[in-house]
Amino acid sequence: MTTERPSLEAAVVIVGAGPAGLACGLRLAQLLDEHREREPRLPAKDSIFILEKGRETGAHLLSGAVLDPSALDRLLPGWRERAPIEAAVADDAAFFLTSRRALRFPITPPPLRNHGNYVVSLNRLGKWLGEQVEAAGLTIFTATAGARLLFGERHAVIGVRTDDKGVDRRGERKANFEPGYDLKTPLVVLAEGPRGSLTKQLLGRLGLAGPNPQLYALGVKEIWSVPAGRMPPGRVWHTMGWPVPRSMYGGGWIYGLAGHRVSLGLVTGLEYHDPGADPHVLFQRFKTHPFVRRILAGGEMIRYGAKTVPMGGYYSQPPAAGAGWMLIGDAAGLVNSQRLKGIHLAIHSGMLAAEAIFDSWRTGDPAAVARTYPERVAAGAIRRELWTVRNFHQGFERGLFAGLLNGAAQMLTGGRGWRDPMLARAGHLRMQKLQAAPRHDWSLQPDEQLTFSKITDVYHSGTRHEEDQPPHLIIHDTDICNTRCIVEYGNPCQHFCPAQVYEMLPAEDGTKRIHVNASNCVHCKTCDIQDPYEIITWVPPEGGGGPNYEGM
């Protein structure tokens, strides 16, 4: 059935209202305000479209988060007085955990020093930034996903199609069907965060990647309300070691928030060998360590969530722009994995993109951004920061100690280390088959007080989807799940998914079959990244569906 689609012309379409997309929009509005009077031919603000799949701006934003203020200082001078900040970082420390003890590093390793930074909730900061964007006269189209890119001649991007609404599970129109719009535009800015669905469509079609594939980690997080005095606001603690097996990359965080709340979580590298690995279980165990348990005892879990982070760094960055498209923030792989920080780089890159776009409007040469934006990134703070840690994350392929040693070598050599570039294999290729893989114990008996099942946790993520809609987790061949993967890898999707989306359920004939609980999905994208056969594709569900990361 062909669909009559409404279509609109846009000067630029920004896909994703995270820190990157919001900074890009806001900077464009600022530049337009500064120059409008003298240059009346510049595009109107209502020709700038920002699309966000979450119900509200910020609904899908989850981060640690310790914020490096450098970018916001440039974007919104005076933001410290107005933005929602949990606390200025008051003290920081790093610990090495054994199963019973916590050994404090005598000095906090420099990358984990956070003096001058701020503890924030990215959800709240994003919501606030969204208000600034709206106040500057732009519109954020929430509950609206970019569903696919529109291509013109020679693979140039010429627009974005937004999601159809009111389609049932068989693909038929419901009474309230609303077709998605075709937004025709000379320029699409992809700010989708890690493993964006349009970004994947684009890079796949054009066959683009950095020297290394992107490497990812999955962060699993909870917010707790705890008795007064447990973790003062602005205290920032990082941990290494237990419960993460030494062959794996991972580490924990505990940050003191305002109002006797604590942000804590565990980041697990999606590049492990054991197909049974379960990042959610690791995080639950982390809380049972006496060091963590002491902080949480008598408290109450308030919210849960999980999200991936691109960790590959400089050599995993795909080209940042091309004909009709630009990548900013996590979509461009701009995360400093040594410091686990990406918010400031997302904002920086959004601003640079805006400045490049604005210049192209003035010179009347929209195609120029494909050259000028990557130049701006290469010339400034982003490259400076990422270049010195360009070989950091790759070092962890051989486990924790090799990684730390490599990290030290790089610090001495300005990032060069022993090999430069240090190459890496994609994480899903490192997963080993059941017979060959090292096996760890991944069992967990949640007590539902301190430790929780995935189901309880998902309930605390506020996740909701329209039930009657086409599947948004597309398994291209379920026979592979039911016959091959089950014997070769034991269906790792059941384990790596932090939201119990994937289950192997007994069928009538006694075999087990894959079952997808799509409405549990918290949009972390781990399945799209980590499935060893690469047969799962994550596409945006009907706009507005997904988690509700209030306070995350």
Partner 1 sequence: MRILVCVKQVPAKDAPIKVAGDGAWIREDVAYETNEPDAYALEEALRQREAHGGEVVALTVGPARAAQVLREALAKGADRAIHVAGDDAHRLDSYAAAEAIARAIAGEKFDLIFTGLQSEDYGYGQTGVVLAELLGIAHATIIMQVQPAAGGVRVKRELENGYFQYLNLPLPAVLTIQSGINKLRYATLMGIKQAKSKPLATVALADLGVSPSLNRQSVAKLYVPVKTKKTELLEGPAKEVAAQLAARLKNDLRVI
Within 8 A by CB and 6+ apart from 38, the residues are none
Q: Answer with the entry of ligand FAD, partner 1, none that 178 interacts with (C-beta below 5 to 8 A by kind).
A: partner 1
| 296 to 315: interface string for partner 1, x by CB under 8 A | ----x-xx------------
Task: Give the x/- contact pattern for partner 1 in 335-374, rule: CB under 8 A.
Answer: ----------------------------------------
- Rule CB under 8 A: is residue 136 a binding residue for partner 1? no
Q: Which of 144, 268, 316, 360 binds partner 1 (CB under 8 A)?
A: 144
Cα separations in angstroms, 541 against 55, 197, 239, 244: 12, 11, 35, 33
- Give alpha helix (H) positions in 310-453: 343-363, 369-379, 381-387, 400-413, 427-430
Please choose which of partner 1, ligand FAD, none residue 346 contacts, taking the beta carbon within 5 to 8 angstroms, the exact cut-off set by kind.
Answer: ligand FAD
The answer to whether 385 and 345 have CB atoms below 8 angstroms apart is: yes
On the 0-12 / 13-18 / 19+ scale of CB atoms within 10 A, 463 is buried
Question: Taking the complex as a whole, how short is the minimal distance between the CB of residue 246 and partner 1, in angstroms?
Answer: 36
Element (H, E) at 139: strand 139-141
- Pick the binder of ligand FAD from 180, 196, 241, 333 (CB under 6 A): 196
Q: Which of 195, 285, 287, 307 binds ligand FAD (CB under 6 A)?
A: 307
Q: What does 56 bind: ligand FAD, partner 1, none (CB cut-off 5 to 8 Å by kind)? A: partner 1
| DSSP secondary structure letters along 520-543 | G--S--HHHHH-TT--EEE---ST
* 8-state DSSP, 436: T
Query: According to the binding rule CB under 8 A, does residue 491 interact with partner 1?
Result: no
Out of 1, 175, 412, 505, name the contact with partner 1 by CB under 8 A. 175
111 touches ligand FAD (CB under 6 A)? no
In a 13 Å sphere around the CA of 9, the CA atoms on its Cβ side amount to 2
CB of 180 to partner 1, least distance (A): 8
Contact flag: residue 51 with ligand FAD (CB under 6 A)? yes
First to last CA, the chain: 41
Structure tokens at 340: 């686990």
Contact of 26 with 202, CB cutoff 8 Å:
no
Q: Which of 11, 28, 61, 323 is close enough to bind ligand FAD by CB under 6 A?
A: 61
Residue 143 lies near partner 1 (rule: CB under 8 A): yes
Q: In the numeric block, which tokens belong to residue 134?
A: 């709206």
Binding piece for partner 1, criterion CB under 8 A, among 209-217, 291-299, 472-480, 543-551? 543-551
Query: How far is Cα 269 from Cα 225, in angstroms, rounded to an integer?
Result: 28
178 lines the binding site for partner 1 (CB under 8 A): yes
Distance in angstroms (rounded) separating the CA atoms of residues 119 and 175: 46
- Helix pair 369-379, 343-363: axis angle to 10 deg: 140
Q: Which does 464 bind (CB under 5 to 8 A by kind): ligand FAD, partner 1, none?
A: partner 1
Assess 219 for contact with ligand FAD (CB under 6 A).
yes
Which of residues 80 and 174 has its CB atom nearest to partner 1 in the complex?
Answer: 174
In the set 21, 111, 159, 551, which binds partner 1 (CB under 8 A)? 551
What is the spatial distance between Cα 437 and Cα 221, in angstroms, rounded to a whole number? 27
In angstroms, rounded to a whole number, what is the distance separating the alpha carbons of residues 345 and 24?
A: 12
Question: Radius of gyration of the chain from Cα atoms?
Answer: 23
Residue 168 vs residues 132, 174, 468: alpha-carbon distances, Å: 36, 6, 5
Minimum separation from the CB atom of position 147 to ligand FAD (A): 7
CB of 65 to ligand FAD, least distance (A): 4
Cβ 359 to partner 1 shortest distance, Å: 27
Contact 459, 498 (CB under 8 A): no
∠ Cα 291 97 526 (to 5°): 100
- Contact pattern for ligand FAD over residues 344 through 383, marking x by CB under 6 A: x-x-------------------------------------
Closest to partner 1 by CB, 142 vs 494, is 142
Distances from the Cα of 214 to the Cαs of 232, 310, 529, in angstroms? 36, 7, 9
Least distance in angstroms from the C-beta of 464 to partner 1:
4
Choose the contact partner of 462 out of ligand FAD, partner 1, none; CB within 5 to 8 A by kind. partner 1
Window 411-450: contact mask with partner 1 (x via CB under 8 A): ----------------------------------------
**Neighbouring residues of 468: CB distance < 8 A, sequence distance ≥ 6:** 168, 169, 174
The size of the chain, in residues, is: 552
Binding site residues, partner 1, CB under 8 A: 6, 8, 46, 55-56, 59, 139, 141-144, 162, 165-166, 174-176, 178, 181, 225, 300, 302-303, 459-464, 548, 550-551
Binding site residues, ligand FAD, CB under 6 A: 15-21, 51-54, 60-67, 122, 145-146, 191-193, 196-198, 219, 221, 265, 267, 307, 309, 329-331, 335, 340-344, 346, 540
